[in-house]
Amino acid sequence: MSSPRGEMLILSSDSAFQLKLIPLNPYEFTGAGVELPESCDTVESIRASPEFGLRPLSESDLQGILNSITGDAGPKLSLNDILKRTPHSIDDISADIPSPVLRGPVLVRPELGSLSPEILRRQMSLDRSAEKTFRKRYPERAGMYF
């Protein structure tokens, strides 16, 4: 049985946190977290990725993507070109005229430690802290998972 634990990297414009969460139920968690230093190269590379949001697609966008995938003649368009566009809020997208929307990007990594050795070291430390907190607060549950 795999343990019900999760790692998260939370970024805002001026701070970043690495968390190790152990769910107690669908609404409650325990665990540990640490604020990452401002000079973390991994965080800066993630911040350089396109901003998350909704990007409406026109018929010509869809045709350009299709041409790129199939190799057909005509104007080509990559998803990267679309992700460079400024995202819109859900209120900015017209409900009157339905159109396809590209949502994202969502960056998912099976394991945060694969981002960098620095993140891996923190992850190992957070694993120990989260497990220690879980064992201390919920000893009857901890025996089931650890």
pLDDT tens over the chain, length 146 residues: 334 458 888 888 788 999 999 988 889 999 999 999 888 888 888 888 888 888 888 888 888 888 888 888 878 888 888 888 888 888 887 766 667 888 887 777 777 888 889 889 999 999 999 999 999 998 887 776 65
Q: Are residues 57 and 100 in the same domain?
A: yes
Residues 42 and 1 in one domain: yes
Q: Is the pTM of this model over 0.85?
A: no
Q: Based on the fold, state whether residues 93 and 113 are members of the same structural domain.
A: no
Residues 60 and 89 in one domain: yes
Half-sphere exposure of 15 (CA within 13 A, CB side): 4
The CA distance from 7 to 97, in Å, is 39
45 and 114 in a common domain: yes
Q: Residue 38 belongs to what domain range?
A: 1-49+107-146
Residues 21 and 45 in one domain: yes
Q: Say how far residue 113 (Cα) sits from the centre of its chain.
A: 14
CB 120 within 8 A of CB 113: yes
Bridge partners of residue 25, in order along the sequence: 28
Q: How many domains does the chain have?
A: 2
- Looking at the structure, tell me whether residues 39 and 57 fall in a common domain: no
In this structure, the answer to whether residues 99 and 112 fall within a common structural domain is no
Whether residue 8 is found in the same domain as residue 45: yes
CA–CA gap between residue 42 and residue 22 (Å, rounded): 24
Helix segments in the chain, DSSP class H = 41-47, 59-70, 79-83, 117-137, 139-145
For residues 68 and 89, membership in a common domain is answered with yes
